[in-house]
Structure formats: C-alpha cells, structure tokens
Structure 1
Amino acid sequence: MEQEIIKVFNEKHEYMGTSTRAQAHEKGLWHETFHCWLANEEYIYFQIRSSQKRDYPGLLDITAAGHLLATETVEAGIREVKEELGLNINIDEVVRMGMTSCSIVSEKMIDNEFCHVYINPFEHNWDVFAVQYEEVSGVVRANLNEAEAFFLGKTVTLNIEGYEFFPDGQRVRLARPVSATHFVPYREQYVADVIHFVKNEMYK
C-alpha cells in the first residue's frame, strides 16, 4: 500500500520537511489537516467513523476531515467532503474559520495537528449523503445550543439523531443520547469554538 507523504512542522507551524503519515503519528510530528463542519442555524453535524477504521472506530467525529498531502494546498482539502460524504462542495461555498491546533495522545499514536477549519452552511437533506463505507458508517446531527452546552461541560449527555448507512443502500435511523466517550477525543473547547463561530459569525 502506497504511503501518504505529508508536510511536517515544528510547534510554531514552521515548515520542517516531509514524512509519511505513519511516521508523523509515531513520532508526534506536527502536520496539517483539513476540517469541514456541516452546520446551520439549528444543527451541527457529525460523522460516525466506520467500524473498519484502525483509529477510533465507531466514534463520532468532525463531519468531514483528513490529512493534507505534501503536494496539496489547504483548499484542496475540500476533496474530503466528496470522498467521505459524497457531497459536491466547492471551496468557495464554505466559510473559513481559521487554523487551530489539536493534540491527541493514545497508546497507538501521538497525533499533533494544525487544523484548517471550514464551515459549510448546510441546507439539511439526509438524502444527499453517499458515504464512503470504509471511512464513514453514519451521519448525525445535534441541536446547536445543546451541543454548545455539552462541549462547554455544562451537560453530560447530548441528544443526536440521524442515520447509519449500509453498502446495500439501506439506512437505519438513529436517535439517542451520547456522552463524551462516544466522541473522538478532540479538545471539547475546539468544538465549542466551532459552534460559537457558527452562531456569532455566520448566523448573527
């Protein structure tokens, strides 16, 4: 299998060279990722990671995200939305929030990321999703205000609703409360910041 080559940086986001993705995670090298959240005035959307994924299978995650290859511009990361969710979205249709840093340390890897964050003002329609089953097994949404309270630590559960998708074209409706253990362990404040941006910069 061909290894992904990515750019690596120091903690100040100064370019240091290239590395394989596996080496970056093994050594904790800083690298760049692309995040695209689907959101609107009422809801923020999350993907359910495929059970086939090596890292964090079955957990709730950013709507669409991925590593930027060494040959790619930041804007080229919009391909992740098409690859993972089947949505044809152009870079000029999304709103740039900015760049943040995220660090996740686990037994398997040290994942130090500079995350380029974008928001797609999503007009809700469950029928538009055509997920990449190796990457994504479902899409759910949560009320924006309830999600903000949850990620700020004011509540311990969050109600989600959406669908799990299957390769035969079937989908099963999901509606249940979840806790922090159901999410990929990004900084809770990061997700709260995304929601604050949606509410105060996009839908004032």
Structure 2
Amino acid sequence: MSESEQLMVVDSTGQPLYPATRKKIHQEGLWHETFHCFVINHEEGHVILQQRAKQKKDFPGLIDITAAGHLLAGETPRDGIRELEEEIGLVRQFEQLFPLGVFLEELILGDLKDRERVHLFLTDESMPLERYVLQTEEVSRLIALPFSEFARLTDETAETFQTADQEIIHRDQFVPHPSAYFRRVNEGIQAYRVQQT
C-alpha cells in the first residue's frame, strides 16, 4: 500500500473522523482500522505465520500474522478479506472467517506510531504450506507454528519457539505485538477448537 493512500482516521471506538494519508497517520499516531487474519490448520494443530519480505518498509524479514492490511477510507472489515488472496493466494468468503472481535493495538517504535483498531479473524485451512501462492513483494515464506508454541508467545519470558519443521525461532524474529494481542488470538484458537469438537 502506498504511503499516500487515504485511510480513515477514527477514534478508539471506531467512530470515523476524517481521511488522511497512511504516512500522516503513522507519523502522528492516529487511530485507524486494519484487518488481521490468522490461518490455522486445525487438523495438524498449528498456526500458519508469514515472514515479511525483506523490502517491506516496516518490520522487514520479521514473522507476523498470516495475512493483514489496512482498510482504506470507506471500507469495512469485509473488504479486508482481499489480503488473504493477495498475500498468500487463499480465497475465502467473509462468512468463512471466525471473528475474534476488535483489538486496540499500539506500537510506538522510533518514528513509527501505529495505533490500530484491529478487526481480528481466524480461518481454518488444511492445505500444505507449499501449495500457497505467495505475493513475493510482501511475503518471503510461511511457517507452521504448533498451537502449543504459539500459546507460549503470551509468556514474555519465553525466548525461543520451535516450528512444526523443528526450526528454532527467537522472539526478536517476531513483529513485536503485545502479549495481550497473542492472548486474544490464542483464546480465539481455543474457542474455535472447542466449537469443532
């Protein structure tokens, strides 16, 4: 997304205020709305995460949400579903997503002042990782993190995590979402798994 594209500035309750560029919003720390969707493989018991491409402006090369993006001025969370197809080639209808509600996330790091009303979702897919079609300017690869390892992201003392392929990943390789964010996602995974039994 271009720094000049128009997003809607909102208050923390989601009330729209006025449109502004993405650059201005991140410089001034204005609240805006985003779409985040974690793809899980319920059958295999893991969460699929993306490694951000090295040329990304923010958090290049770090491990993050399966697919995510900003909502433009005038858009709703339903429009955000495009991120799944664009970034990883996964086609979904909005009704196939499992909603986890809205999470207020603030990331203040250096010049970046990112205040997002995150519309948070899960979706379940059993396709092998190699079948996903990645948008290479956005995503360098996907990894599968077992549910038990993903849950450890809520523990700020946990420093290393092991993927389903036995790769060791250190905490500083993840985008630094707050532990409360990972807690919300983990609770959503647990709720989804209970619903499936």
| TM-score, with structure 1 as normaliser | 0.88
Conserved in 2, the CA contact under 8 Å of 1:61 and 1:183?
Answer: yes
Counterpart amino acid of residue 130 in structure 1: V
Q: Distance in 2 between matches of 1:64 and 1:11?
A: 23
- Supply the distance in 1 between the matched residues of 2:92 and 2:192 (Cα, whole angstroms): 18
Change (3 A) 1:51 1:149: same
The correspondence of residues 89-128 of structure 1 with structure 2, limited to 5 A, is 89-128=92-131
Aligned-pair identity in percent equals: 31
Q: Which residue identity lines up with residue 189 of structure 1 in the other structure?
A: A
What is aligned with 1:39? 40
Matched, 1:68 2:71: yes
Given candidates 175, 179, 182, the residue that maps to 1:191 is 182
Cα 1:48–1:161 change in 2 (3 A) is: farther
Q: CA offsets, 1:142-169, max 9 Å, x none?
A: 110122023223632111246xxxxxxx
1:203 and 2:193 matched: yes
Alpha-carbon distance in 1 for matches of 2:81, 2:119: 11
**2: distance between equivalents of 1:153 and 1:27?**
28
Q: Deviations over 1:104-157 (max 9, x none)?
A: 111231000000001001213223311111110010011101220232236321
Tell me whether 1:56 sits opposite 2:59 in the alignment.
Answer: yes
Deviation at 1:189, TM superposition (A): 2.2
Please name the residue that 1:169 is paired with.
none
Match of 1:15 in 2: 16
* Matched positions, count: 191
* Partner amino acid, structure 1, of 2:172: T
Q: What TM-score do you get using the length of structure 2 for normalisation?
A: 0.91
Secondary structure of 2:163's counterpart equals strand
CA separation in 1, counterparts of 2:3 and 2:67? 22
What stretches of structure 1 move > 3 A for 4+ residues in a row? none
